[in-house]
Amino acid sequence: MSGPRQLRFRSMVLAAAVAAVSAVVAPGGAAHAAPLGGRTPPVVDFDGDGHADLAVGAPGGTVGGGAGAGYVSVVYGAAGGLDAARHVSFSQNTAGVPGGAEAGDRFGAKVLPVDLNGDGYTDLLVGAPGEDVGTAVDAGMITVLWGGPTGLATATAVDTGAVPGLQTGRTLAAGDFDGDGTADIAYLTGVDVQVLSGVGTDGRPAHRGTIVTWYVMGTAGITTDDLAAGDVNGDGTSDLVVIGRGVEDADDGEAPLFLGGSHTEDAVGGLAYAENLRDAAGYWLEGQSVAIGDLNGDGYGDVVVGHTHEGYFTDSLLPSKGGAIGVAYGGPDGESRTVPPVWINQDSAGVPGVAESGDALGATVAVGDVNGDGYADVVAGAPGEDLSGVTDAGDLLLFKGAAGGLTGAGSQAFSQDTAGMPGVAEAHDRFAGTVAVLGATGTDRAQAAAGDPDENAGNGAVWVLHGAAAGLTATAPANFGAATMHTPVTGSAFAATLG
């Protein structure tokens, strides 16, 4: 991997503008503005009843005879946590949902909750990267399912433009990038990032722009893997972190930070390139998954990267065996100049288990205040973890935030063999292949969801653990799969994405 170097940023601006207020809903249904970055994420509440809900993507689901057409299920919350008896599912064959279910569309490959129209009810963005739009094969599609008093109901296709092979909707982020108090959408298309501002109820954006990564990197650019939005520099607008690998060098991982609220000539939808995030050794932070939240309570969003790749040059510079969690702390200029970055893996003090090749710690990460102490925690999957000789059984790890930042102290690990957890650890289940944090409400602590799309030969399932003062607890976790939703089961990859 290359050492520290100065990067330049230019971009093509097609514009910036207006979208919709992001909000959370307090118990009783009263909406109030929610920060788009900070200590805890907004509560996902599609029906405005004050209880956290969960969206689950099943992109492998067979719908109308089309294998891999895909669908999305939503489980609504109640006092005490999710109520699996209250659920609804959507596919492209559902009345009112744009398009039609076709083999390989992969509707539900990505789900992202956000209040897009500012009415106080969380809406749901759904990606279908395999969607053919007209003659544009695999152009991909983003659909908005609109929240309301009865939950998700009506739907609209987002006008992203149809370009063959872009697989639009495979990865999504949303935040107030232009500082107008409303939510915008960012999504990956190969080596570029598209930014949509002012998406109306007809799905048409007021403005759209393209961040061209080869301009940013000054080279051939990066093949993008993931992105996340949050307020890294504490200015009240959302920033964007993109992670990926060099087009010319797969050992050249990068995590460029784009600061929101910019009105410079190079800004795209309010986003302007600031820097490549770096670790304590001065090398670029890198990984395959990313999330943002305030781990040390200083008011700045911190960037959490899951690094699973092994056998790279950088492995000698960070504790990457079995995967690792990297943190770059936020500050007024972007990455903090006073709080050093950290790497943590299963060989770090206080972390359960032992780092072993192939554990894949950090394959997916999510951030939220699970134990209610005011500091965001990190929930991470290690789907390649072997348990008692069972290959790739997988487990879920919790790393706790604190005033001093993230360490291994007090970390927890959960698997299907943990006492109280439904099921049994089996070979190649890859438990916690996806994760999410359900925010705390007026009646309940935060919860952590662990998805296992490989459970039972690719049928998939979800486990939801309750938060407690000590962290997470395996006491009476919710557990459900496609059968509970009364949706197609075989090969559905239920829980391939959570939101």
What are the pLDDT digits (tens) for 45-74?
Answer: 999 999 999 999 999 999 999 999 999 999
Give the separation between CA 188 and CA 208, rounded to whole angstroms: 13
In this prediction, residue 5 carries a pLDDT of 27
In this prediction, residue 189 carries a pLDDT of 86
| Sequence-separated contacts (24+) of 485-489 with Cβ below 8 Å | 485/73, 485/87, 485/89, 486/89, 487/58, 487/61, 487/71, 487/73, 487/89, 488/58, 488/61, 488/62, 488/63, 488/71, 489/459
pTM above 0.85, yes or no: yes
In this prediction, residue 70 carries a pLDDT of 98
Give the separation between CA 438 and CA 292, rounded to whole angstroms: 15
Answer yes or no: is pLDDT of 111 > 90.
Answer: yes
Answer yes or no: is pLDDT of 175 > 70.
Answer: yes
Answer yes or no: is pLDDT of 9 > 70.
Answer: no
Give the torsion through C-alpha atoms of 332, 336, 338, 344, to 10 deg.
Answer: 150
Please, where in the chain does CATH 2.130.10.130 lie? 288-498
Give the separation between CA 364 and CA 81, rounded to whole angstroms: 23
Give pLDDT tens digits for 196-244.
999 999 999 999 999 987 776 555 566 778 999 999 999 999 999 998 8
Answer yes or no: is pLDDT of 38 > 90.
Answer: no
Percent of the chain with pLDDT over 70: 87
Mean pLDDT for the chain?
Answer: 88
Answer yes or no: is pLDDT of 126 > 80.
Answer: yes
For domain 288-498, the CATH architecture is 7 Propeller (2.130)
Give the torsion through C-alpha atoms of 468, 474, 475, 477, to 10 deg.
Answer: 100
Answer yes or no: is pLDDT of 76 > 60.
Answer: yes
Residue environment code for 326-342, b if the CB has 16+ CB neighbours within 10 A, otherwise e = bbbbbbeebbbeebebb
Q: What sign does the CA torsion over 438, 442, 444, 445 have? A: positive
* Phi, psi for residue 464 in degrees, rounded to 5: -125, 115
* Phi, psi for residue 456 in degrees, rounded to 5: 55, 55
In this prediction, residue 253 carries a pLDDT of 79
Answer yes or no: is pLDDT of 29 > 90.
Answer: no
Give pLDDT tens digits for 473-489.
999 999 999 999 999 99
Backbone φ/ψ region at 332: left (φ over 0), alpha (ψ -120 to 50), beta: alpha
Confidence band for 461, pLDDT divided at 50, 70 and 90? very high
In 10 A of CB 476, how many CB atoms? 12
- Candidate from 23-37, 89-103, 267-281, 376-390 with smallest mean pLDDT: 23-37
Instruction: Report the pLDDT averaged over residues 388-414.
Output: 96
In this prediction, residue 212 carries a pLDDT of 86
Percent of the chain with pLDDT over 90: 76
In this prediction, residue 220 carries a pLDDT of 59
Q: Supply angle C-alpha 213, 218, 224, rounded to 5.
A: 25
In this prediction, residue 312 carries a pLDDT of 61
Give the separation between CA 344 and CA 318, rounded to whole angstroms: 9
Q: What sign does the CA torsion over 289, 441, 34, 37 have? A: negative
Give pLDDT tens digits for 309-359.
876 655 556 667 899 999 999 999 999 999 999 999 999 999 999 999 999
Answer yes or no: is pLDDT of 104 > 50.
Answer: yes
In this prediction, residue 31 carries a pLDDT of 32
